[in-house]
Structure 1
Amino acid sequence: MGRLWQIFQTVLGIIFRHPITGTTIIPILPNGQIVLVRRFDTGQWGLPGGIIDWGEDVSTAAHRELKEETGLTLIKIRRLVGVYSAPDRDPRIHSISILIEADVEGRFEVQDTLEVTEIKAFSLDELPLGNLSHDHEQQLTDYLQGTTVLA
């Protein structure tokens, strides 16, 4: 019985004491605009993305999350922009976000109405910098500067 309890505690520790991994997407429309979503929980603009489900790889999760939050189709991943792992980057949980830049197309359609209230495309000079959700301000700044970041 003692060994079983040890295994149970180990499994709980793995589940609840390790960061959650997700992906965030910088969606680029054919006209060069960047797509952001307005979050339901904070009312702030942010990049689409979310948690990688069990059995998914990063690319599959990015395709799924983009479709759920924007209705858009991910055509091509351009590059890895960075990996963001600061414990306070997400106010809800300790999460690690893998940020990618991607070519996207399609029509805007919020499919996940529990997370997203609005979708909008912004030109580079119209981006609502200054009050983005989570650490998306830093992520977009790093992207715009052309850097690849491990933070």
Structure 2
Amino acid sequence: MNRINYLFLTVLLSANTYAAEADYSQPIAITSDDNATSIRENVSIYTNNVEIRQGSLNIKADRLEINASAGKGNEVFLTTGSPVQYSQLLDGDLPVTATASEIRYDRASRTLTLSGNAELSQSGSQVQAAVIRYNIETQEIVAESGEQKKRVTTIFTPENKENP
């Protein structure tokens, strides 16, 4: 991605748009129809109607695999679905939403990796790519065309300005 696109993406997702710090201090609640856990392997698999909540962060998927082998606070959540849906309110009640065939949430780095028809939207603007890496905390995005060479598309919605 060239420097101009990166600059536009940074502007798109900056200005008072940090995820509410309170989200990260909240417990993570997971609901699903089914669950299988290997205590020895530190792996849990949730299937059917999976929902993950942490404060305003919400992920809905068909399947979730949590690998907790790296210890508490370093879990990796791998969700799959058709599609997986992510949403979160940022400071100022600005919603950010995303969809993809697979979303990987790395709790330690607060990074989402969206793969397969990935789309991320905020304030009416959106990024579409084969793979999108999104740091929730710093609001940085890296979008890639992937192996299929699907071009990265960024759509900026003009700001509505009212005359006084």
- TM-score range for the pair, normalised by the shorter chain length: under 0.3
Normalised to the residue count of structure 2, the TM-score between the two structures is 0.26
Normalised to the residue count of structure 1, the TM-score between the two structures is 0.28
- Higher strand proportion, which one? 2
- Higher helix proportion, which one? 1
